[in-house]
Structures are given as structure tokens and as C-alpha cells.
A and B are shown apart, each in its own frame.
Chain A
Amino acid sequence: MSVTRRQFLLGSSALVALAAAGPAFAEPAKGEPIYLGVSGPLTGPNAQYGAQWKQGFDLALDEINGAGGVKGRPLAYIFEDTQSDPRQSVAVAQKFVADKRIVCELGDFASPASMAASPIYQRAKLVQFGFTNSHPDFTKGGDYMWSNSVSQADEQPLSAKFAVSRLGLKRIAVLHLNTDWGRTSKDIFVKAAKELGAEIVATEGYLPDEKDFRSTLVRVRDAKPDGLMLLSYYSDAALIARQAKQAGLSLPTVAASSVYSPKLVELGGDAVEGMFTASRYFPEDPRPQVRNFVTKFKAKYEKEPDAFNAYAYDTMILMGQVMNEFGFEREQIHQGLAKVKDVPSVIFGKATFNPTTRRVSGAMSVDLQVKNGKFTFYEGGAAVR
């Protein structure tokens, strides 16, 4: 759902009232911890994402365990490094499945590693909760595969609306990561943008380790677009923006929400100034979950949180609530995910699963622009003429 600022403020004041009524002071948790298994990259090329997950998890655990944990017992996780390599993620899957302390599994990061392990979790009836797995077929691996990752079928039509209807782009050049995520996003974005009446003049897929975009940008320029759409992560988006500036290509640029990170500005500098993106939340967001998350995150880590921090945090909070409501046996969690309603969430506002797709829909969306090196709420209209 796309939200205007007005609705945003209205909705959030209601939530402030709700949050204030909740159980504020509980006994800290004690006793034998309840363990979640996390399978993800701590070394190798994707190690940065594993490190971001940890920060999000730890912050959520401070909160959960400070407020009584899960039915009085502390919640904890065991993080096994897989380098996001399928050979290791299947071994870790077997390890978790055999470890009776593990009540639910979170991860892995990349699709090949995550989906290779799915048959093992499915056979053993242990929930595999892929909280960054946007591959459209991830939850089709079986009824034990669940995900609260923002579905691209949700996000990309919103991006298209932002780019076409609000910013007025008519001839769009799309640059996308040539991965399952980037490719899925591109297909959905292109379809949505065309339905809104825009023309897609170029699509360029690039490999994740690509650093040089100068020639790609010449090709893009020759297609005479009036705006760029980047389906990128923050590191590539920063590189593209810098090189576009050097190539003398200054066009309104919209980027997928995955660029939402303070690192975008650090790496991109001046070049990302004016870039548009949508995000699930932003630091000045008045929603109480967001206020709470951003304030505590800054206090603990002395930096702004980014999208992956938020996914990890949200997931841990969700798990805490599911276990508190429905119990912490493996099967209880599996059942609980289908039943849990309206879990407070940074990403979704309130998260409820669709028991058929085993996904959550209705992610929040705010339109942002980078201004003076910060993500700020975008209040303007058309960016083209």
C-alpha cells in the first residue's frame, strides 16, 4: 500500500496509543534458552549481509529477553556460517534438523543456498523461514517454507507508480542486477510501468560483481531515456550513479528499496544526491515501531539502520510473538505462523501471513529522496518538466 504523509501520521498516532497500552514492564527472561538456527553468510563474498542480520537479531533479542523472553525463557540463536554456499547450507540444514534444541530455522541468504536446503527442512518438518528470500518460488518448496520478505510483486508496481505517475517519467531505462531477484523485479516493474503508459527504452542486466558501468551508460544514453530505474543493491547503485555523473548523464533516477542504506550516500557521495527511492520506513518516520527500532539501533550501534537490519529485527520480533502466543515446539511454530495476526512490524506496519502463499503482503512504502546526503520524505511532484 502506498501511503501519503497524512495517512501515515493518522495511522501512526493510533498505534502509539496501542503501544502504550501493552505490557511495558516484565521480568527479564531466565532459564534454559530457546534456540533458533540461523543459516547464513559470515565469511565469503556475502559476509556483510550476515553481519547486518546479526545486528538486527541482537537488537530484537535485547528487547524480547528484557521483556520476559518466550514464556519466561530467554530466546537465542545459533548462527552457522554457510558462506551462502549450497554445499554448506545443506550440511547446516541437517545439523539443525538433528539438533532438538532448534525450534525454527532462519535463512539462508542467496536463493541457491536457501532453496537447496528446503527439501531437507521440508522432510524433517522444521520451518525454514527465509526472511530475505524474494525468489517467487521459495515458499513453493513445501508447506514448511515461510517468508516475510517483501514480495517483488508487491514492491515493483509501487515503484512503477512512483516513477511513472508521480515523477512523470515517460521513457525509462532499467538497469538491473542479473540475479533471480533483479530479474524478477525487472519483469514486474516493466509490466507495471507499461500499464501506466510509460515506455521502457532499454533494459540492461549486469553481474553482481560488476564495477564498471561506463559503457552500459553510453548504451543507455543512446536509448534517449528521460529517467533511470535501478534494480540494484546500494553498492552497485552508488557505482552506477557516480559513473552516470562522470559520463555526463544527469537524469532523474529511481532505485529499488534495496538501496536504502546509509552506505549508499557514503559510497555514492554527491552523485546520489537527488536519487529517488521507496522504502519501508525511514528514520523520521513517526510510526512507533519505527521510532523504537531506529532509536534503539542508533543507541546500540551508533549508526543508522538499513534495510537488512530491519528485516532481521522484524523477523526476530515476529518469532518472539509467534512463540509466545502459540508455543515453541517445532510444530506449534509451524501452525502459529498461519494463525498469528497483526504482528507489529517495521516493514509491514502489521504483519499477517497468507496461509496459502505463506508470505506477507502489504509492505509499507514511503517515497524518499536523497537530499543533502540524507534520505528525506519526498513531497514534490513530477521530476520531469
Chain B
Amino acid sequence: MASWFDYTVNGIIIGNIYALLAVGLALIFGVARLINFAHGSVYVVGAYAGFVAVTQFGTPLPLTLLIVVVVGALLGLGIERFGLRPLQGYAHIAPLLATIGISFVLDQLVQLFFKPDPRALPSDLLNIRFQIGSGTIGALDLVIGGIGLTSAALLYFFLRFTKLGWAVRATAQDRDAAQQMGVDVNAVNRTVFAIASALGAVSGLLVGMYYNYIDPSMSFQATLKGVVAQVVGGVGNVPGAIAGSILLGVVESYGIALFGTSYRNLFAFVLLIVVLVLRPNGLFASRRQTPPEPMTGTFIAPSKPVRIPPRTLLGIAVAMALLPLVLPNPYVLQTLTNAWLYGLLGLSLTLIAGTVGLISLGHAALLAIGGYASSLLALDLGVPVGLAILSAGLITAFLGTALVFPSFRLRGHYLSIATLAIGEIVSLVILNWESLTRGPIGVTGIPPLSIFGIDLDTDRSIYWFALAVLVILAALQFRLLSSHLGRVLRAMRDDDVAARSYGIGLDRYKALAFAVGSFAAGISGAITAHLYSYINHETFNSQLSILALTIVILGGMGNVAGAILGSVLLVGLPEVFRVAAEYRVLIYGLVLLLLVRFRPQGLLGTV
């Protein structure tokens, strides 16, 4: 019994930390309708600003806090002014991608300046500890809780009783109406970004002090947990975000109590899915909350796709097929082989996200399912590799669709977050289901590629195989898009209410599209596994899901040729920038930002 008290206290303490992150994310979402993927990076910058202040100038905590607030607010203003304002009026997808680009750039800058080693971030608070249950809580725990509550209270008063606060709320409710009533929407956006980023930076400082540990790569986890917490509480809802964070902390803690440490995140993400499916507005949404996003037609930029005559496409395909004969450089061939395999992933996501409008943030899970299915079929059941790859595609189509099916009633960002959670759940199940997947040891000795008994053991043959699979599936997808089915899918994306009133069964069509898309991703994962000979739960990680989305947006949503072009660029560019060594990820982030800025509808345009 005493232990349950300890678990609860521990859950609240960690929830306290999530709350600092979630409040900032909730504010930004409330006003800008944007999941700010750069929030974790602001958190990192805040932690390092505090680190410099404390270790170089020996500032006391109140002064350190002030410095961090100022740095965070300025950074927020910068992000708003240079990263997001130019994208105003573009569809929602552009700023989302921009925040991903900004987070690359910020993380990389911090890593370059401060070196990647973890650092100690000492706090000068008195080391007083209070006995609670059998554990203790320290002064810093109380400060964190205090700052969380104070900032929530300040925000509440600001939003309720100041003119700017009213403007913020009005903008959150209806941006256009607010503007017509004379609200300076830009000023509101600036304010919100400054406040949210100051909060994010402070949370970085406090969490760093709490653990006496900061490193430049802690941003992704921070964003992830913050997003989960705020969705549990209700997106865009500040008090809800705090309650959701505490709930998340407690549920994680109980998860550890019941099943052990390695199940912790599984609990977090299952909680998220349950909340999303049962109460998509979050547990603490009031009735007056904004209705579940009328995203229809606004999330994806409508544009005129670049027309490429079929003959040109055919020509390019033939040229690519002849390339190994003219340029037998294995490095180039390998990079392009990778691009073809990611092109398959791109085809999959461009159909699901672009054509149907289900923006998936967990697409790497499909690669993982395909990779594991094919490897285990080949290793444990002795299925020939070619057949194993094909079966893996079918298994992925079935499993992927089944997993995502309960989330089909969600729209816009909610669906994205649900898929993010499903992706994490798949990876954690792979890690924990040892009897099938061999857990963290991974699957070794996966047989190399061979079809019809012919081993594909040269760089060329592997290249041709990947290219052939890509061309076949791309051609099928072209065919599908120009058929009646393709029009139905686009109709659902553009206006699902209208589509439904024409008698289209939304869920069935979504499931059909998801199955077709999952098949391509599963095949890609399966081929990758046989190429690598070894995979574990980290081979297909959540960064890959982000890459997949970037590929699709860059190429143009729903655009088959665009997905392949996007894949070639995003796999190729980091290789091209190799000369820049440590700076290459930075350059990559900047290029991404410029592309979003000047071509938000994607290089080849939305279909």
C-alpha cells in the first residue's frame, strides 16, 4: 500500500515536468493551430542558456530564470517572425514542416556550440529534502511545481482580464473574425510564441537542474511527451494540459509498478490512444471548446500539380535503369537504392496522407512490421525470400490497417497524433515481445535478397530490384489515382461531409487506401531488412516517420512522382553535403526551411 503512495507521488513529480512542456505547446496550438515540433529545441536552448549563465557567470537561480525567460522569448519571437510568419496564408502543413526544419537547425547549432557530451547543470538551491512516503522531494521539485502553477495562473489572468489576452482568445476561436474586428493577429501570434517559448526554455532549465543533466539530443523526447500530455488534456487547453501531464505521469508510474520499466512508454501511448478514441477533445475539454477541427480542405494546400508527360517519366525510368551500366559507382548506386526504398515509403505515405488526407506520423511502424514479418518468415519458417517479402507486404497491409482503424473517426492533427502513438506502440511491442521478435537483441543473420532462387548479391542487381519494385508500385498507384477510386479518395480529403452525403462509406475507403499504402511500406521494410541482414526495434525509428512525411510534403502531397523525387532529394542531399561534415545536418535543415518557404505546395505540387 505504501508503495502505491510512492508511485503516485513519483507520477505527480514527473507529471509536473511534463506540464511545463505541455502548457507551451497547448498555448501555441490554441492560437496558431500548430503542433510546434521546435518546442523541444527551445527547451534545449533554454537549458544551455541556463548552463552558460550558471557555470560561466555563477548567476543565482532567480537571475538565471530571468535570463532564460528572455532568451526563450526572443527565440520564440525569432521563430515566429522568420520561420512562420512568411508562411501565413499557406495551408497548415507548411508551418508544421517549418517547425521540424527549425528544430533540426536549433538542435544542430546547440550541438556545434556546446559539443555533444552531456553536461551537468547544477542548481544552487539549498539541498533541503522533505520526507514523503518512503522517498523524499526536494526544494527543486517544489520550485518546478510552483512555477508550473504560477505560470498557469498568470496565463489564466492574462487570457481573461487583459485586452491582449482577449485578443489571443478571439484569435484562437476564429482568426478571420478576430482580424475583421481589428485584432492585430500578428501581435497576438508574436505574444503567444514569446510566452510559450519562454515557458519552454524555463522547463529546459528546470528539468536540466532536476536531473543535473543536459544534452543537445534531448529535444525530441521532450516534444513527444509534451505533445502526448497536452492531447490527453485537450489540445489548446492550458489547464487541461496541466491535468493531462499529471495524469500521464501517474499512469506511467503505475505502468512501471504493474509491469516493469520497459512498459512505461507503452502505457503512455496506450493512454493517448484511448483518450483520442473515446474523447478526441481531451479529457478536460469543456463544451465551449472549439469543435474537432474543421480541417477539411485547409490542411493541405490545393495547387496545380506540375504536369510531367508520361513519356518523360518513362524516359527517366529507363535512364535510371541504364545508370548502373554507365556509372558503376557502388556508392552512388547504394544511395539511389536507398532512395528507391524510401521512395516506396513515400508512395505509401503520399497515398495515405496526400490523397486521402490522413497525415500519418507513425509510418516507420509499417516498415518495422514489414521488416520483421519478412525476416521472421524467412528465418523461422524457411519461406523463400521473394515470397517472404510479398507476404510481409500483405501482413503489413492487414496489420497496419487493423491498428489504425479505430482512429479513422479522428481528423486533422488528432489523427496525426494517434498515428504517432501507434508508431511508438509498435516499436515498444517489438522490444517487449521477445519470444517472437527477440527483443532488444534484434534479428541477426537475415538471409540476403534472392528471387526465384537467384541471389541478388551485387550492387547492381540490388539496385535494379529496388528500382523495379518501385516502378511497378508507382505505376499501379498512378493507375489508381486516375480511376474512379482515386477520385473518391480525393473527394473524401477535400470535403468529407459532402463525400458522405454522396453515399461514400468513409471508413471502408480509408481502410482500403491505408491497406494499399501499407503494402508498399511493408515491402520497403522487408527489402531493407534483407539488405541489412540485421534489424532491431531501433532500425525503423520515429525519426524515419518524420523523414517520410518530409519526403511527401517536399514532393507534393498525393503526387506519385513527387514522392520519388522527394525521396531522391532527402536521401541524396545529406550525402551531397558530406563535405560539410558536422555542418551537414544544419545545412539540410536550412534547405528544408527554404523549400517550405518558397514552395509550400511541394516541388511537383499537390495532386
A207 and B6 within 8 A (CB): no
Report Cα–Cα, A267/B118, bound state, in Å: 8
Report Cα–Cα, A209/B131, bound state, in Å: 28
Q: A43-B585, A180-B441, A215-B257 are in contact. Are A141 and B533 (CB under 8 A)?
A: yes
Among B129, B218, B261, contact of A206 (Cβ-Cβ < 8 Å): B261
B444 and A266 within 8 A (CB): no
The residues of A that contact B137 with a CB separation of less than 8 Å are 246
B375-393 residues with Cβ-Cβ distance < 8 A to A are none
The residues of A that contact B11 with a CB separation of less than 8 Å are 215
Assess whether A300 is interfacial by the CB under 8 Å rule. no
Other contacts beyond A94-B335, A111-B536: 9, CB < 8 A: A47-B116, A90-B338, A91-B331, A180-B441, A215-B11, A235-B215, A247-B6, A248-B136, A266-B119
Residues of B that sit less than 8 Å from A by CB: 3, 6-7, 10-11, 13-14, 17, 108, 111, 115-120, 122, 129, 131, 134-138, 207, 211-213, 215-218, 221, 252-253, 256-257, 260-262, 264-265, 329-331, 333-335, 338, 342, 431, 439-442, 444-445, 448, 457, 459, 531-536, 538-539, 543, 571, 574-575, 578, 581-582, 584-585
Q: Which one of B13, B136, B211 has the greatest number of beta carbons of chain A within 10 Å?
A: B211
A42 and B581 within 8 A (CB): yes
Report Cα–Cα, A206/B266, bound state, in Å: 12
Report Cα–Cα, A267/B116, bound state, in Å: 15
Q: A87-B571, A214-B135 are in contact. Are A219 and B257 (CB under 8 A)?
A: yes
Minimum CB–CB distance from A136 to chain B (whole Å) comes to 8
Minimal Cβ-Cβ distance residue in B for A83: B585
Q: A205-B262, A214-B14, A216-B256 are in contact. Are A183 and B441 (CB under 8 A)?
A: yes
Assess whether A310 is interfacial by the CB under 8 Å rule. no
The residues of A that contact B136 with a CB separation of less than 8 Å are 246-248
Report Cα–Cα, A329/B367, bound state, in Å: 39
Flag A127-143 by CB within 8 Å of B: 1 or 0 each: 00000000101001100
Task: State which of A116-124, A290-298, A336-344, A351-359 sits at the interface with chain B.
Answer: A116-124
Report Cα–Cα, A148/B319, bound state, in Å: 45
Minimal Cβ-Cβ distance residue in B for A247: B135
Q: A88-B574, A115-B534, A182-B440 are in contact. Are A94 and B330 (CB under 8 A)?
A: yes
Minimal Cβ-Cβ distance residue in B for A88: B574
Chain A interface, DSSP helix/strand/loop, else mixed: helix
Minimal Cβ-Cβ distance residue in B for A117: B532
Among B115, B261, B444, contact of A137 (Cβ-Cβ < 8 Å): B444
Minimum CB–CB distance from A182 to chain B (whole Å) comes to 7
The residues of B that contact A222 with a CB separation of less than 8 Å are 3
Minimum CB–CB distance from A146 to chain B (whole Å) comes to 17
The residues of B that contact A195 with a CB separation of less than 8 Å are none
A204 and B260 within 8 A (CB): yes
Minimal Cβ-Cβ distance residue in B for A114: B534
The residues of A that contact B211 with a CB separation of less than 8 Å are 211, 239, 242
10 contacts between A and B (CB under 8 A): A47-B216, A48-B116, A81-B584, A90-B531, A116-B534, A137-B444, A184-B441, A205-B440, A216-B256, A239-B211
List 5 tightest A-B contacts by C-beta distance, closest first. A47-B116, A116-B532, A115-B534, A94-B334, A45-B217
A112 and B135 within 8 A (CB): no
Minimum CB–CB distance from A120 to chain B (whole Å) comes to 8
Q: A51-B117, A94-B333, A267-B212 are in contact. Are A180 and B581 (CB under 8 A)?
A: no
The residues of A that contact B13 with a CB separation of less than 8 Å are 214
The residues of A that contact B439 with a CB separation of less than 8 Å are 178, 183
The residues of B that contact A218 with a CB separation of less than 8 Å are 3, 6-7, 10, 134-135, 257
Q: A47-B217, A218-B257, A239-B211 are in contact. Are A140 and B445 (CB under 8 A)?
A: yes
Among A88, A112, A182, contact of B536 (Cβ-Cβ < 8 Å): A112
A51 and B260 within 8 A (CB): no
Minimal Cβ-Cβ distance residue in B for A49: B116
Chain B interface, DSSP helix/strand/loop, else mixed: helix
Among A110, A120, A205, A211, contact of B538 (Cβ-Cβ < 8 Å): A110
B440 and A43 within 8 A (CB): no
Assess whether A284 is interfacial by the CB under 8 Å rule. no
Among A91, A120, A268, contact of B338 (Cβ-Cβ < 8 Å): A91
The residues of A that contact B17 with a CB separation of less than 8 Å are 212
The residues of B that contact A110 with a CB separation of less than 8 Å are 538
Q: Which one of A110, A180, A235 has the greatest number of beta carbons of chain B within 10 Å?
A: A180
Q: A51-B115, A239-B211 are in contact. Are A43 and B584 (CB under 8 A)?
A: yes
Q: A91-B334, A140-B444, A178-B262 are in contact. Are A263 and B118 (CB under 8 A)?
A: yes
Minimal Cβ-Cβ distance residue in B for A99: B331
Report Cα–Cα, A385/B306, bound state, in Å: 78
Among B14, B440, B539, contact of A183 (Cβ-Cβ < 8 Å): B440
Q: Which one of A81, A135, A140, A215 has the greatest number of beta carbons of chain B within 10 Å?
A: A215
Report Cα–Cα, A50/B581, bound state, in Å: 12
Minimum CB–CB distance from A126 to chain B (whole Å) comes to 11
Flag A258-281 by CB within 8 Å of B: 1 or 0 each: 000001001111000000000000
A173-195 residues with Cβ-Cβ distance < 8 A to B are 175, 178-180, 182-184
A43 and B578 within 8 A (CB): no
A269 and B120 within 8 A (CB): yes
A239 and B213 within 8 A (CB): yes
Minimal Cβ-Cβ distance residue in A for B571: A87
Minimum CB–CB distance from B227 to chain A (whole Å) comes to 15
Assess whether A80 is interfacial by the CB under 8 Å rule. yes
Q: A118-B533, A263-B118 are in contact. Are A219 and B333 (CB under 8 A)?
A: no
Flag A215-248 by CB within 8 Å of B: 1 or 0 each: 1101101100000000000010011001000111
Minimum CB–CB distance from A325 to chain B (whole Å) comes to 30
A94 and B331 within 8 A (CB): yes
Minimum CB–CB distance from A121 to chain B (whole Å) comes to 11
Report Cα–Cα, A81/B329, bound state, in Å: 20
B330 and A81 within 8 A (CB): no
Among A90, A178, A267, contact of B440 (Cβ-Cβ < 8 Å): A178
Report Cα–Cα, A93/B539, bound state, in Å: 17
Report Cα–Cα, A182/B439, bound state, in Å: 12
A112 and B534 within 8 A (CB): yes
Minimal Cβ-Cβ distance residue in A for B134: A248
Report Cα–Cα, A248/B135, bound state, in Å: 5
Minimal Cβ-Cβ distance residue in A for B9: A214
Among A48, A182, A247, contact of B117 (Cβ-Cβ < 8 Å): A48
A94 and B459 within 8 A (CB): yes
B532 and A86 within 8 A (CB): yes
Assess whether A197 is interfacial by the CB under 8 Å rule. no
Report Cα–Cα, A269/B261, bound state, in Å: 25
Q: Which one of B111, B445, B532 has the greatest number of beta carbons of chain A within 10 Å?
A: B532
Minimum CB–CB distance from A321 to chain B (whole Å) comes to 29
The residues of B that contact A247 with a CB separation of less than 8 Å are 6, 134-136
The residues of A that contact B10 with a CB separation of less than 8 Å are 212, 214-215, 218
